Structure formats: structure tokens, C-alpha cells
Amino acid sequence: MKNIKEDEKLSILNHSCAHLLAQAVKHLYPHALFWVGPVIEDGFYYDVDLGDDVIKEGDLEKIEKEMKKISKDGKRIYREEISKTEALERFKNDPYKIDLIERMDEDSTVISCYTQGDFTDLCRGPHVDTVKELKYFKLTKFSGAYYKGDSKNKMLQRIYGVCFTNEEDLNEYLNELEEAKIRDHRKIGKDLNIFTSHDLVGKGMPLWLPNGAIIRKELENYIYKKEQKIGYNHVYTPCVGTTNLYKTSGHWDHYKENMFPAMKVDEEEFVLRPMNCPHHMLVYANELHSYRDLPIRIGEFATDFRYEASGAVKGLERVRCMCQNDAHLFVTPEQIGDEFKKVVSLILDVYKDFGLKNYKFRLSLRDKEDKEKYFDDDDMWNMAEDKLRSVLDEYGCKYYEAIGEAAFYGPKLDVEVKPAVGPEVTLSTCQLDFLLPRRFNLSYIDKDGTKKTPVVIHRAIFGTFDRFTAFLLEETKGILPLWLSPTQVNIIPVNNEYHSEYATKIFEILKEEGIRTSIDLKDEKLSYKMRESQTKKIPYTLILGDKEKENNLISYRIFGSKETITLDTKEFLSKIKNEIENKK
């Protein structure tokens, strides 16, 4: 989906269309007052004060009709520069504009207005030359929005829209919006009872329901087994830490604004942890290490807490409480290349299992000319960056270099995945860190008997289980593979009176084999039960009647198919267990 804000031509077009919207609203609601109407990634919006009037669904069509009428009139758009005094006089009856003007510097700020016909608005611009250029637009939604984003202020009404240069682009975009609605993990999560939220718990604090807990546990089991095979040791550490822990790590100075406020308990001050690396440094420091012990790989499924603005939280995608698929690898400088190779290999292996193909690697490197921004060790930087490049080249990974985007303490690799709809998302990350082990005075005894400082590799394959689940739901539209589905098999007896005993027998067999199975014994028509099973997106629906009961058979339909297949019970059991085990 195109980012309109980053496209100069579309940005100007959409900013102009925001004024067209405001003019139409003013025609229909003469008492309307306007706060701000910026361009955003997916179009524009305008915050409006309509007094006692409330925008309803049918009103968007009415506003659109008025916008088209104004556009056909074809008035030119004029820019005018005025003084602060003139601006205060011109907008004296509009408290929202007065608030903007009063905060402007009289000497250094150019105050400009744009006029189109009978409507004048305060704006920096630029705009298109005439409203006639604003033909291909659509108002997409509306919502409430607090004045200045502060819940203590008045609630305004926010109207969203989008504008393009031609009808084809507009229709394509609107189709993408419809597809995005269908794939929205919040809707899927609600329909399939995967997660919920509640104001009593707090914004950005999702509650994983039983179905969601199954998905998350399966993901945890999956990645745990893979990490165990390649030498990871998993730990549990507290989800709080003292402020001194984060002062030692350096996060307190650089990340404090993203943490929850500190809590004083007895003589100690604690914060909810935003990341796990400081805890893992102390796990490493628990005992002495020789170079023979390295690499040491410490993994954890760790719950972290980060402050996100309430307007930014979104389902499982942007949360304040998250569970990271986190690990820290403690290596010698000579081991960087091999360990980085193992991380990339694991990423590629996981992406293959989940069928992810449309992705690229972003390699964030330092700017060699900037001697202030980066940890000062040229040999370490050059060696590390060269090894990272060589591994990506060896695997034939598609990547690009982002010079100057490395962290102060080391280069970083992000995997940017293109989802079915929307902008690219970052799933996996891997970062070298030369500094953190020094801050915690970590060491190992090298071959020559001297103490050396290890290098740390931070890495997350899924990122967070929360965001990865949101991504999966949107990629699959909630049609999860058999091994991940909360309910794998749903059993429907054709007639409860005659077939429920056999259906219950099959139910018990499948449950005994560890297959997540439900049985529908409701007093409803078979067709209703079949539709309900499809609505729940259950991979296998078993239909058991006379033939199946008399011959110990199972008839089933796969989700999305109308074909009924009949197998011997043992044959079906073997088939489904094989499919689950091989994660097809």
C-alpha cells in the first residue's frame, strides 16, 4: 500500500483535499470549527468541532456529494501571507485557529492562508492550483479525537479521506483497504476468540484467550525445539529490575522515556523491564568462563513492558506488554562470523517453515566519518561488518546497506517482510554489541590466560510472539495450518440420536492421540453446524453417519472444500498425525 505522506505529489493533493473536505463540511454545518487537517500515510483527516451535531455513517456520502459539487465549480486556490495581528483579527471567532496563531513567532514565522471560493483556511501549504484537480477522492471513515490528543480536552470528530490523481489508482487503493479490513488481525482475533482487551486491565495490555494461548504455546514449542537443537540454554528472569540495573546498562539515560514509571519498594526502586539484555548479562556473570565455554547462548520467552502512546496501541501488533522470543549470544571476536551465520540460518529455516518469501535484509552499518556517534574500535567494526556481509553473500540473501544506521555499540541486521497488505514490517533482528559486556565487566579467560571481554549478539527470530501472531493472522486471514489451529478437528454427527455415540467414540480416540478436537452435539440442522465449523475456520470437519458408524470409517471435509473424503479410522489418524508432525 502506497505511503501517501512520502509521495510529494500525492501529499500535496491530499492536503488540498483536506481543505475541500473542510469547505464542504462548512457548507453543510455552518457552525463547524476546525482544528488540524494533516496528510497521513493513508490519506488525510480533518478534526472538526460540530457542536451538538454528530457524524453518522450516511453523512460521509452527503459530505462527499458536496465536495464533488465544489470540485466541479473549479475555483482557483490562492495563497496569501499575513501578519500575526492580521491573522488574529481574521480568525477571531475561531478558538482553534487562535490557539495555533498565538503560538507562532511574530518575527520569524510566515503566516499563510489559502482561499478557495467562500472558504479560507490557515495553512502552510503548498496546494494544487484549483479545486478542479481534486476529482478522485473517497471519505473512508470517521472517529472521535480529543483536542490536542489530550483526554482532558473536548472530543472532536475526525473525518478521514484519501485522494488520487486518477480513478484507477483510487479504486486499487480502496480495494486494498477492503482487503486490509478482511485481514485485520483485530477482527480475526475477535471472531476466532484469540485475544481481547479490557479498559480495567489497560490499553495495550491484551488478554490471550484459550484459543490464542494455544497458538502462542505452539509457537513457543516450535522455536524452543529449534533453539535447543543448536545449543541454546533457556532461562527465566524477573520482569522487573532496579533502576540501578538500567543505569549500569545505559538504558536509563537513553530509554527512560519508553519505560513505565519507577516503583519504590522498601529501599529499592524498580521498573518494569523494557528489555532482557541486562538480566542476561548477569546470568552470564553468575560463573567464571573460559574461551572453551564460548559461545554461550542464553534464550528466554520474556515478558517486557514498554510505554506506547494510547493512540498508537493496536491489537497484538503494538502493545505495552509483550513476550519476546529473545536470546543473547556471548562470543569471542573470532566467533562472530560463525554465530551470525547460525542466526541467519535459523531465520531462513523458520521463514521456510512458515512459507515467507517476500522479504529482504537491512544491514545497518556505521558511518566511518562520524567519530563521535560510534563506539571507538575501528578494527572491531571493520571485522564485524565484513563478517556480516560475507555471511549474507554466502547465503545469497537479498540485502541492502544502511550507512549510518547502526547503533552506537555495533552493526545490526533487520529482516523486513512484505505482508499481504500494508507497509513492510520488521520481524527478525540480530545486533552485535561491543559495549554492554564492558558496562557489566563481563569476561572470559582466553587461551593465553588473560581476561578478555566477550562480544554479545542480541537476536530475536519471531520478534515478539504478539506481533508475529498478528502478522500470521493477517497473512492467513485466520486460516492457520493444522499444527497451529486451536481446534484441529470438529466432529459433527449427522443425527444426534443415532450417531452421537460413534461420534463421541471418535472424539475420545482423537483426544487420546493429542489432537485438539471438538464435537458438536447441538440440536441444530447439519447444514447449520457445517457452516459454523467453516466460520470458525477449523481445518478438518468430520461428518459421521450410518455408513461411518457401521464400517468404522471417517468422512471429512477440509476447510474451504466441498469435497467429502472417506477413510478408515486408522488411516485418517495416521494422515492427520503425520500432517501435524511435519507442520504442513
- Residues acting as catalytic residues: 277, 306, 324, 326, 328, 412, 458
Are residues 391 and 340 in contact, defined by beta-carbon separation less than 8 angstroms? yes
Which residues neighbour 371 within 8 Å (Cβ) at sequence distance 6 or greater? none
User: What share of residues in the chain are helix, strand, coil (percent, to 5)?
Assistant: 40, 25, 35
- The three grid cell numbers given for residue 488, joined into one nine-digit string: 484441529
Helices H / strands E in the chain, number of each:
18, 28
How far, in Å, CA of 514 to CA of 83, rounded?
76
From the CB of residue 138, how many other CB atoms can be counted at a distance below 10 Å?
Answer: 18
Are residues 321 and 194 in contact, defined by beta-carbon separation less than 8 angstroms? no
Query: Sign (positive/negative) of CA torsion 24, 27, 28, 34?
Result: positive
Provide the CB-side half-sphere exposure for 229 (13 A, CA): 11
Are residues 144 and 23 in contact, defined by beta-carbon separation less than 8 angstroms? no
How far, in Å, CA of 92 to CA of 78, rounded?
21
> Angle at CA 83, nearest 5°, toward 124 and 122?
30
Residue found by looking up cell 475456520 in the block: 537
331, amino acid identity: V
Query: Sign (positive/negative) of CA torsion 76, 82, 84, 86?
Result: negative
Q: Nearest-CA neighbor of 189 among 313, 310, 314?
A: 314
DSSP string, 441-510: T--EE-TTS-EEPPEEEEEEEEEEHHHHHHHHHHHHTT---TTT-S--EEEEES-HHHHHHHHHHHHHHH
